[in-house]
Chain A
Amino acid sequence: MVLRLSGLSVTRRNRPVLHGVSLSLNPGEFVGLIGPNGAGKSSLMETALGLIPCTGTSSLATMPPAQRARHAAYLPQSRDIAWPVSVEDLVALGRIPWPGGGRGGLDRIAIDAAIARMGLEPYRKRTAQRLSGGEQNRALIARALAQDTPLLIADEPIAGLDPAQQLACLRLFRELAAEGRTVLASIHDLGLAARFCSRLVLLAEGHVLADGSVDAVLRDDLLARAFGITVRRVDTPDGPAILPV
């Protein structure tokens, strides 16, 4: 098991955001976290990582920080880069938890592999802040890949990307899962989530409303309860298309 959450409850500013969430992630899964705005998706990820205090347990939060950082990489929703560092230096930040700290031979290999995988070779020496949004996003994902962890937690990784970049990102996550890693990503586009994720978790008002296969989660009654919408499903050769109506 890569991540086990049991009975997580979180209160922020006297307002409960998570109620007794339990969840287990296994190797090779690409888990899509879906739910309306304010359902607690970001809080769930941050709590799982041990970044905010909670009741209940997360198998990650109990690890020492350095060990946790070698177990799970995190792509926060904010893509803000504070300083004009080069793409290479940005990706190297992913090696901070490892013994070489970014300078060792293993670090070089991991950094080069991450840069190559994200197609960033031409941008290696360029200042990350000056790249386009899509390129910046790829550099940030490369940073998480360089961290070389069994688990990747990504908060809305495809928000703000053009369709090609969205597809590239989700394909990458599916590949990572196929390699035996685990990806947990919050996704708003139900259609894309249905096409790429191996499993969905539907969160509403701090509760897990449903957890399982795409078909088991994207049920009309559940979606109506969570989002207050109905959807029309059209099966296409490339997978189900889901239209909110």
Chain B
Amino acid sequence: MRWLSVALPPLVAALTLASLLTGPAGLGMSESLHALAWGGDGPLPIVMRDIRLPRAILGAVVGAGLGLAGAALQGYLRNPLAEPGLIGISGMAALGAVIAIQTGLSLATPLALPLTALAGAAAGVGLLAALAGPRGGSVTLILAGVAISALAGAGTALVLNLSPNPYAANEIVFWLMGSLADRSLLHVWLALPPMVLGAALILPTRRALDALTLGEAAAQSLGVSAVALRWRLIAGIALTVGPATAVAGAIGFVGLVVPHVLRPWVGARPSALLPASALGGAVLLLAADIAVRLIVPERDLKLGVLTAIVGAPLFLRLIWKTRSGGRV
């Protein structure tokens, strides 16, 4: 636990810096950082401030949000298989975002984009909490997640296919896989405030999530209000996952991989896992976003491709372990 809190923040900072210094233009390190901090004439400050800075910030913020939401969701559902992307919360957020974009709502007021996305995410997480609360087993959770994912994916495809824009239909892959390419500071300002609010709602539930280790009834007897906890987490997860998806698409597996890897390091306590997963999520997404730029620099490789390659085998292993009723 100590070790993590010492190691993770500098790692996030180092990867943010590395993200700022990664790009096809092959700029010098000192001149780019100088241009980032002090500006100046010419195109360099524009590249650093308008193209790379938003990407680096969003990598850290979206990753942190997904890691935190994943850890909170797992703690609440008492299930290591819970992950915002896999069980359709990100998909519902994407549906909300696509509706805002295609109806022109986001053109009228940019705030409509994160708002509709978080409404979608809230619908998804609310439905899940109702179908598979802390008492629901893995099977209920995964089946509910499959249904919600399928519904959200179909809705997104339908809206994009109905668009008069010929490019829209090809964007299903962005909404399914996510990307941070060519995001602007506007996206940062749209996503960051609601995500901070979401984190502020989630973090105080740490002890309540600890109490849920013993089950819902025991947690309630320890003074946890089940209703308040549920609404707080639905709101908090929607506020983090919704805006993150609105600007970066649905990036899966971050909320699964990060809590799973960090759990042994924090003694499996949900309260310690929440902040650690936020930092770990930032590390994972920043690293993935640097990797997509290094692996195929000339193409916009989707982030979700990389996170799925890492995450899906882990997910299968978790199912294998929980299959026989065993615990992680």
Contact = CB atoms under 8 A, between A and B. Distances in A.
A161 interface: no
Given A66-B223, A80-B214, A85-B213, 19 more contacts: A65-B224, A76-B214, A76-B215, A76-B218, A78-B217, A81-B213, A82-B215, A83-B213, A83-B270, A83-B327, A84-B328, A89-B267, A89-B268, A93-B210, A96-B211, A96-B222, A96-B224, A97-B222, A102-B207
A193 interface: no
Interface bin, chain B: 20 to 34
B221 interface: yes
B267 A85 contact: yes
B210 A49 contact: no
Contact of A93 (B217, B222, B263): B222
A83 B268 contact: yes
A138 interface: no
11 contacts: A49-B220, A51-B221, A74-B221, A76-B221, A81-B213, A81-B327, A82-B213, A83-B269, A83-B270, A84-B263, A153-B221
A164 B152 CA distance: 55
B211 A93 contact: yes
Interface in B201-254: 207, 210-215, 217-218, 220-225
A72 interface: yes
A74 B218 CA distance: 6
B78 interface: yes
Interface residues of A, number: 35
Interface of A: 46, 49, 51, 65-66, 68-70, 72-76, 78, 80-86, 89-90, 93-94, 96-97, 101-102, 127, 129, 140, 143, 147, 153
Contact of A49 (B211, B212, B221, B224): B221
Contact of B267 (A46, A86, A94): A86
A70 B224 CA distance: 12
Contacts of A82: 78-79, 212-215, 327
